[in-house]
Amino acid sequence: MAAGNDIDVLVSEVGPRDGLQSIKSIMPTVAKKAWIAAEAAAGVREIEVCSFVPAKILPQMADAEEVVRYACTIPGLTVLALVPNFRGAENAIAAGAHKIALPLSASETHSKANLRKSHAEVLDEVRRIAAVLKAMPAERRPGFEGNVATAFGCTLEGAVSADKVVELAAALMAAGVDEVGLSDTTGYANPAQLRSLIRRVKSAIGSDKLSGVHLHNTRGLGLANALAALEEGVTTLDSSLGGLGGCPYAPGASGNIVTEDLVFMLDAMGLKTGIDIEKLLAVRQILREALPNDELYGFTPDAGLPKGYSRGWGVTRAA
Ligand code: ZN
């Protein structure tokens, strides 16, 4: 399980990958480094810092290797990199990423648009990557997560069958990933659907193998979905500072859940994230300066913390 003993929920920041790949602006490397360092200093323990895709496809990620190498120098930070295929995994491993994540889209149409691969072809890549990882010494071997993307619906295919998601989660485990995550790439999920799918996937692959959920706030249900996942025992939640993010191949799907709002919700509920919310709110300034033409989202940053706020205030627990 990703959450450490001293925290209840691991908030995994994905803005430098999901956020930046979805906007036209290219953030200078120096600003990416400052962003990652400032979030780590605020107590964020895991950051998905980049995607290893060719620069001609995503020029926003051209500095992936440099960003990973830099992030790995920050003590206590788990550095996650998204990899679309075997080649990307090789590069991420060479750069020293602590963990790699590969998306497998439940919608085969989306998979072909996004990775230009069928399900069988993606699973072949997973097996090749797993074989390379297996041959590495355990102390240098990065973690390997498979993500079922478009798990709750697809802008191209519409509804996605829950049976298919369960089948693909099991296929990813069989192909050699350490754990599986579920991604609402398109912002279609609702809390009831999330609860049901989390239960089904956990019973298929083991409850300790469903690592986390990746949610978008496209229809305003992001935090409701996060709470539903939490109540189903999921302890890793992805989010993006300022709500940057989306999927370039899923038209209309924009914006991960906002890290600041997620951390405020968890913190106010008395849950430990290890994150200092005031320091976190201050990190927005780096984004505002580096991306002056891009919109930042978030209710908590706009409204400010409640007067006299402290973690878990007003929460009464039975002795
Ligand atoms: Zn996403």
- What does pTM read for this prediction? 0.94
- Beta-bridge partner residues of 146: 102, 180
Main-chain phi, psi angles of 277, to 5 degrees: -65, -35
pLDDT reported for residue 164: 97
Q: What is the DSSP string of the chain?
A: --S-TT-S-EEEE-IIIIIHHTSSS---HHHHHHHHHHHHHTT--EEEEEE---TTT-GGGTTHHHHHHHHTTSTT-EEEEE-SSHHHHHHHHHHT-SEEEEEEESSHHHHHHHTS--HHHHHHHHHHHHHHHHTS-GGGPPEEEEEEETTT-BTTTBS--HHHHHHHHHHHHHHT-SEEEEE-TTS---HHHHHHHHHHHHHHH-GGGEEEEE-B-TTS-HHHHHHHHHHTT--EEEEBGGG--B-TTSTT-B-BPBHHHHHHHHHHTT---S--HHHHHHHHHHHHHH-TTS----HHHHH-SPTT--TTTT-----
Domain ranges of the chain: 10-318
pLDDT score of 2: 46
Under the banding of pLDDT at 50, 70 and 90, the label for residue 115 is confident
Dihedral (C-alpha) 159, 161, 162, 168: value to the nearest 10 degrees? -120
Question: From CA 291, how far away is CA 299, in angstroms rounded?
Answer: 19
119 CA → ligand 1 middle, Å: 19
User: What contacts 139, CB < 8 A, 6 or more positions away?
Assistant: none
The token duo for 287 is 């984004």
Gap from CA of 72 to ligand 1 centroid (Å): 23
Taking the centre of ligand 1 as the mean of its atom positions, its distance from the CA of residue 216, in whole angstroms, is 6
List pLDDT tens digits, range 251-285: 544 589 999 999 999 999 999 999 999 999 999 99
Write down the residue that tokens 């709470």 correspond to.
227
pLDDT for the residue 278: 97
Per-residue model confidence (pLDDT) at position 113: 87
- Residues, CB within 5 angstroms of ligand 1 (ion): 18
Spacing, Cα 218 to ligand 1 middle (Å): 11
> Cα of 187 to ligand 1 centre, how many Å?
9
Task: Say what percent of the chain tops pLDDT 70.
Answer: 95
Position 100 confidence tier, pLDDT thresholds 50, 70, 90: very high
Q: Is 72 a catalytic residue?
A: no
If you measure from the C-alpha of residue 246 to the centroid of ligand 1, how many angstroms do you get, rounded to a whole number? 5
The pLDDT value given to residue 188? 93
| Averaged pLDDT of the chain | 93
Q: What does R_g of the chain's alpha carbons equal in angstroms?
A: 18
**Domain 10-318 top-level CATH class:** alpha beta
> Would you state the pLDDT for residue 4?
64
Phi and psi for 229 in degrees, rounded to 5?
Answer: -65, -45
